[in-house]
Structure formats: structure tokens, C-alpha cells
Structure 1
Amino acid sequence: MIGSAPALTRVAAQLRDGGPASVTGLARSLALSRTAVENAVTELAALDLVVDAPKPESRGAGRPARRLAFPADAGVVAGVDVGTTSIRVALADLAGTVIAQRTVTGFDLITRPAQRWSGLVDGVTELLAEEGIDRSALRAAGVSVPGLVNDEGRVITSSIIPDWSGAALGAQLSEAFGCPVAVDNDVRLAAVAEHHLGAARLVDDLIYLSVGNRIAMGLVLGGKPRRGVHHAAGEIGHLAFGDLGGPTGQLSWRRAPTAAEVFRLAGAGDAEANAEIDAFIGALARGIATVAMTVDPAMIIIGGGLSLARDRVIDPLRHDLHRVIGLPLALPVVGGLLGADASVHGALVHAYTQHRRAVYGIDDLPVPTVRPLVGHGTVVDP
């Protein structure tokens, strides 16, 4: 708990999250002695984590009290979401505010591994250059990838990018970027993002289901992402939803080649398309119910491209799920708030969480609240 943390951590967090303050103001708001605050400020100055705030205009006699500020612009943290259709990159300052974001074309499986690697690295270095930020300012990075990833950032297996299976992605990217890199599964990090800054900020037990070109699941239990002993928690697309797709969780449609086309036909009154969507939602509800009754979450979040069809997917899914479960449970089913940007924001949260010392020089400073780029759209067409 931050209230029982050392004065150093509490003062740093207060300046970072609460804005500029005087020593007296910090002592009052944190219930610390002035001496404790002054000692903490001295330590923070040695870590380059405190600067003098701009002096306000004087409104009376006397010298205004010295105000201190957290230097949010002293470094950056990167988040990267790697996919075959797109690579999303975001840069955030030390206070967690996203300051730049870009999406570039992803790579298909025909692309040579070396080209894929350079595309991933270039996405970060080019955005840094565009923003006029020196690469030395990059303190840590988080990367989301499709596949099973262990605690060291090694890809155990990936059915989406098979030749990355076994790759020590974390170590290789750390060398390329010159900073620590935390790597994890893309859907797990999307769940982390929705818990941290999206639809599930007020709950600590949730199921996140990504429904787009494939079906995949992420779990947050007790406020922490559930990885499992084999790092495979949530990898149930081909088990719970096997009737809807292939072994990788890839969805297949009968009435038209893509979900977007099936939904367009349904909207135009096509009876076969509407019947296929109804059957799809029913199968989805049965699969979700199996997991929901196993972990008993406080909320189910639907992400991915099909989450955009809220009236046609989420409302009937909520009805079917409650019917399948058959118990009087208050189990909200909601659409994710972060859209296609969920995993890249989750990668940022993961970087702050795993590499606090690299980012701040302090091990126990709480993860900042990641704030999306103002005016940047997070919703994409399904």
C-alpha cells in the first residue's frame, strides 16, 4: 500500500500523480514530517526525479514558496503490439501519458524473419525520431505478441508467427533498443489494459475475450493477469470454441468469407446471414459460460473487431449467456473501451510493471495511470 511505503516512494508518487507541490504541501498531504519530505526530495534529486516547478506569478508581498515537480519528460517508455495486419507503437512519458502513437503495416508469413524483425524495431526508432526524442531517453519497452511467452520473454510457441517459436524475443529486443524489454501474450496484455484504464477499472476479476479474426482469451484475477504454470492461461480458443474455427482459434464463416461481409448481409436482411450470426452468438455464449462458471468473474469484456457490433453481438450475447448459465448472477457483459489499441496500452502497463527500476530508479514506485493520446481514435473497422 502506498500509504505505508517509504517516504521516498510516497513523495515521488505524489509529485508524479498529483502535480507540483511545496515541501510543506507534501508534508501535509502525505502526513509526513517536513524533515522526512526534505530528505526524500534530496534522494529524488540524486535520481533526477524532481525539479523546480515554474514559479507562479507573485500576488502579494513575500517570496513564494519553492514548488517541486516530477520531470515527466525526462524519459520515455515504449509499447509495441505486433500483429500480421499491423504493428502499433506508443510512447509514454514517465508519468504514464501517451505522447505519440503510430500504426504501420504489419507483416504476413511470407515476409522474411529478418524483415519482420527490422519492421518491429524500426517502428519504435522511427517514432522516436519523428518526436525528436533521442534513443537514450528510452528507459523500457513492453511488447505484445501472439503466442505463449514465458517470464523471460521467450516465445514458447506461436501459431500465428511460427518461426518466432523458441525465440528469446525479450533479450534480443533489449539489445536492439538498449533498454529492458518485457514481452507477453497480446490478448493477456489487452486484458491488462482494460483493467488498468478501460472498461474494468473498478473490478479485479475479469474475463477478456477477443473476438475478431480469431477467438482468444485473457484473464485478470485478483487484479493480476493470470499466466498459469505453463504460461497458457486463457488459450482456449480451439477448445471452448472449436465449432467456430480452426486449431488456432481462427474464425470461419459460411455465408461469406469474412465477418464484416456476413454482418453487412445480415444488416441488409439476409436470412442465412442472420441465422449464422445467431448460431455464432449461441456457441460463443456456451464457450464463455464454461470459463465463467470456473473462475466466477465480476465482468466479461468483449474486445476485438466484433465488439464494435454492440447491438448485434454484445446485447444478444449477454442474453444468451445468462440463459445458458441459468443462475441469478449479476454478470455484466460489456464491450471493451480501447478497441484495437488495447494490446499496445497493455504493453505499456507491462513495461512499467516489470521494469520500474529501469524507468524510475526505484523498485517500489507504483505503476502510473497510463493515459491514451488525446484525440487518438482507438476503434477500428471489424
Structure 2
Amino acid sequence: MSTPTQTSIVARSALQLRDSGPATVNELTRTLGLSRTSVENAMTALGDAGLIAEATAPSGRGAGRPARRFAFVADAGAVVGVDIGVASIRVAVADLAGVVTAQQTFAGVSAEQDGASKLAAVIAAVHRTLAGADVPVSRVRAIGVALPGIVDDLGRVTASVVIPEWSGIDIGSHIRQAFGCPVAVDNGVRLAAVAEHHLGVAQLVDDVLYLSVGNRIAMGLILGGRPRRGIHNAAGDIGRLAFRGLDSETGQISWRTAPTAAEVFELAREGDTAAAAELDAFVTELAHGIATLVMTVDPAMIVIGGGISAAHGQLLDPLRERLPRHIGLPFTVPIAEARLGAEAAAHGALVHAFRRHAAAVYGIEGVPVPSVTPMPHDPAAEEGTSPEGSDADPRPREERQ
């Protein structure tokens, strides 16, 4: 068994090859400041773990046999991120370097009759995505799951108003049995915040308040660079309390002038005075609730995600104008639109799986989370839902990117 010092050297070598590309033992020795013997031992350990292979040597002018080059084998395994919602199930598959190689969106769990059939739909969605990507289940090293509800540290759903059949159920254990690998489960909005911090608009910002505004209002917190769970795993479950006028049990937004947010925004754009007044009151109340949260945690940035976050002229711009009035202090907290859109929670689930089960993913201890790289943008993929299940994009269709 490796000692902590040896493990650190192995992990540093793996990190260098994973993130910087192929290298020779001499190059690794110089870059990492280690002895040749230490690097050679690390290459042996990484080879035994199946993480490296000999790379093709670049053509050169020198005579003699070129030095052996080693490359990180990213496709030696896969990590899966799943975002479960009533309107959609989103699945993303990444290689061991964190590059997303496949993603699919399926119908949500709302049509399923009970908790067991909802879980079966999720498992089937993962199987279909893996099959479509030609990734055998045996290559999956960890799965991250984002779902709407309060989740304890072991993956048991403490409570969910969105999928009440799962309250008290160890969803993580069921998915682990289905795929035979470690599973990490957390709240979907919290993992959307993780994604925006790790690879989205809030990179390098260590104190972030992420607000999902869709069918419901829900919050995720990043404090000190880490997601805040709280002693009861309920940190951020504050939408129904911090924002007046929402359903007191679910945090659901109710609209008077039209059934959905998209229709209210559309009516307001067309000059409907009642819809414009309702939207104005909503933005004012949203600013008041955010101000309360800002003065509680004092974040460096506010990120607005969810189905209606892209309405700059009708939501974000007036929100930026009104928030300082409610705070009433000589500082400004920047408000940014979430970059990852509806794919945020699935990507946050990937980050969560890499972070929670790094040893299972890499076969060695101490390898940090890779810089997860999304697939190229597909406009069609934006026709889905937010982490809280909202498909209400208020922009005119021709403005959606």
C-alpha cells in the first residue's frame, strides 16, 4: 500500500499528464521538481491503475531512440452526471479528464405513477445515454445525481416537495445497486451553483449566491469556495420563506395575469398594463428577498439561473437597478446571468461525483476535480428545464440562443 508521500507524487504526476498533456520522465522530473526515481515509480503506479499509456513520440531531428512519452488515458473510464426533474431528466457523460463526451435529455418523472417507476425512468435514461455513447456500464466509475429536495450526506432524500414519493428514500443506494459504482447525490440547485462556480460565470469567485428562478424560487450557496450544506443539509431551501407571495410549502410562483411566466412576460412586452404591473411587482419583491439574503451571507456575486433568468430587459436589468435601493449600503453586489442554463445541475453532478469519489474514479488518492468541459453549445438543448423544473423561457423564440 502506498504511503501518503508516494500517493501525493502519483497524484501530482497524474494531474500533470491529465491537464498538461503527454510528457517524458525527464520532463515530469523537471516540471514537478522530483527525483527521476520518484517519477518512474509514479509511472509504474499510474500504469497499474490503467491511467497512462505510452504516447507517440514527436518527430525530431536527433539521432537515436527518442525518450518514452506517457499520456493520460482519458477514456479509461467515465463519470456520469444526472439531473432529475419533473419536466426532464438530463444525463451527461464525461471522460476521466472531465470532457463531456455525451449528453441527452429525456422526459421528466412527472408522468410516472409512483416512486419506483420514477426511479426506473432515471435508470433507463442513464442506460440509454451510455448506450448511445457506446460506453459500457462497466466503464462507469462514479455517478453524480442532482434532484429537487433536501438530501443528506449519504444520498438519502430527507424531504422533497417536488418528488414527494422519494422522501425518506435512499436514492443513492438504489442507483449504486443498478450500476455497481459509487454514487453522490445532492440538491439540484446546490449542484447548479457548484457548476457555475466550477466552470460557469462564477469561476474564481469563492462566495456566490445562486438563485434559480423558474416555476419556483430556490437557492444554492457557495461559501469559501465550497457548497454550503448546513448541519441539516437544508442550506438554501429558503425560497418559500425569503420571497413573499410564493406558495408557503413549495415556493411555487403563482401568476395572476397568465398561467405561466412566459405568457406574463410576453403580455408585458406587448403592452398589457396588468401583466406589466404584475411583472414590476414581482421584480420588486425579488429584489427585496435577494437583499435579505445578501445581508445574511454577504456574497461577492449573485448568479441568477432558472427558466426566466435570460430576460435581461424585463428581469435582470431592473433587478440590478432595484437591488441597491433595498440594500441601502455603499456597495454593489454584481448580478450575473447563469452561463450553463438548463445544463447546470447535470454538470454540477459531474463535479460532485469527481470530488466525492476521486479515489474510485482514478484508482489512486488525491487527484483533484478536473476542469469539466461541456460539449459545444446546442441551441436545441436549451428547450428543456431548469434545475427546479421550469421550462418557462420568457424571451421570444427568435431571441433564444
Same fold (TM over 0.5): yes
Q: CA deviation at 1:60?
A: 4.2
More deviation, 241-250/121-130: 241-250
**Pick aligned residue for 1:100 from 99, 102, 105:** 102
Q: CA deviation at 1:336?
A: 0.3
Letter in 1 for 2:309: S
1:227 is the counterpart of 2:229? yes
Look up the match of 1:279.
281
8 Å Cα contact 1:220-1:226 kept in structure 2: yes
8 Å Cα contact 1:242-1:249 kept in structure 2: no
More deviation, 9-18/113-122: 113-122
The 2-side partners of 1:303 and 1:335 are apart by 6
Look up the match of 1:354.
356
1:177-196 equivalences under 5 Å are: 177-196=179-198
Per-residue displacement from partner, 1:261-289 (whole Å, max 9, x unpaired)? Answer: 00001111111111111110110011111
The 2-side partners of 1:376 and 1:57 are apart by 37
Per-residue displacement from partner, 1:223-260 (whole Å, max 9, x unpaired)? Answer: 11000011100111110113134421111101101000
Distance change in 2, residues 1:100/1:334 (3 Å): same
The 2-side partners of 1:167 and 1:198 are apart by 31
Q: CA deviation at 1:127?
A: 1.2
Q: CA deviation at 1:55?
A: 2.5
Look up the match of 2:398.
none
Letter in 2 for 1:172: H
Look up the match of 2:382.
379
The 2-side partners of 1:53 and 1:141 are apart by 29
How many residues align? The count is: 380
Q: CA deviation at 1:315?
A: 1.2
The 2-side partners of 1:41 and 1:328 are apart by 55
8 Å Cα contact 1:211-1:303 kept in structure 2: yes
The 2-side partners of 1:21 and 1:273 are apart by 61
8 Å Cα contact 1:72-1:94 kept in structure 2: yes
8 Å Cα contact 1:298-1:332 kept in structure 2: yes
1:22-41 equivalences under 5 Å are: 22-41=24-43
Q: CA deviation at 1:58?
A: 4.0
Look up the match of 2:263.
261
Look up the match of 1:14.
16
Q: What SS is found at the alignment partner of 1:144? A: strand
Report the TM-score when normalising by structure 1: 0.96
The 2-side partners of 1:352 and 1:189 are apart by 13
The 2-side partners of 1:89 and 1:133 are apart by 13
Q: CA deviation at 1:184?
A: 0.4
Per-residue displacement from partner, 1:26-67 (whole Å, max 9, x unpaired)? Answer: 111112222221111111111111111122234443322211
Distance change in 2, residues 1:242/1:5 (3 Å): farther
The 2-side partners of 1:274 and 1:32 are apart by 65
The 1-side partners of 2:313 and 2:41 are apart by 56
Q: CA deviation at 1:160?
A: 0.4
8 Å Cα contact 2:81-2:92 kept in structure 1: yes
8 Å Cα contact 1:50-1:68 kept in structure 2: yes
Q: What SS is found at the alignment partner of 1:77? A: strand
Q: What SS is found at the alignment partner of 2:28? A: helix
Letter in 2 for 1:359: V
Report the TM-score when normalising by structure 2: 0.92
8 Å Cα contact 1:338-1:379 kept in structure 2: no
Letter in 2 for 1:229: I
**Pick aligned residue for 1:78 from 77, 80, 84:** 80
Look up the match of 2:148.
146
Look up the match of 2:307.
305
The 2-side partners of 1:335 and 1:51 are apart by 41
Distance change in 2, residues 1:243/1:49 (3 Å): same
Q: CA deviation at 1:81?
A: 0.3
8 Å Cα contact 2:82-2:89 kept in structure 1: yes
8 Å Cα contact 2:208-2:302 kept in structure 1: yes
Per-residue displacement from partner, 1:313-343 (whole Å, max 9, x unpaired)? Answer: 1111111111110111131011000000000
Percent identical pairs in the alignment equals: 57
Letter in 2 for 1:219: L
Look up the match of 2:176.
174
The 2-side partners of 1:248 and 1:316 are apart by 26
Per-residue displacement from partner, 1:163-191 (whole Å, max 9, x unpaired)? Answer: 10000111111001110100000000000
**Pick aligned residue for 1:87 from 80, 89, 93:** 89
The 2-side partners of 1:119 and 1:55 are apart by 46
**Pick aligned residue for 1:122 from 106, 121, 124:** 124
- Structure 1's unaligned 5+ residue stretches are none
Letter in 2 for 1:123: A
1:207 is the counterpart of 2:230? no
Distance change in 2, residues 1:375/1:333 (3 Å): closer
Letter in 2 for 1:100: A
Look up the match of 2:386.
none
Look up the match of 2:399.
none
8 Å Cα contact 1:80-1:143 kept in structure 2: yes
The 1-side partners of 2:121 and 2:332 are apart by 45
- Structure 2's unaligned 5+ residue stretches are 1-5, 384-391, 394-401
8 Å Cα contact 1:80-1:142 kept in structure 2: yes
Letter in 1 for 2:92: A
Q: CA deviation at 1:109?
A: 6.0
Letter in 2 for 1:315: D
- Please report the RMSD computed on the Cα atoms of aligned residues, expressed in angstroms: 1.6
The 2-side partners of 1:168 and 1:375 are apart by 34
Q: After TM superposition, which residue ranges in structure 1, 4 or more long, deviate above 6 angstroms?
A: none
Q: CA deviation at 1:21?
A: 0.9
More deviation, 121-130/202-211: 121-130
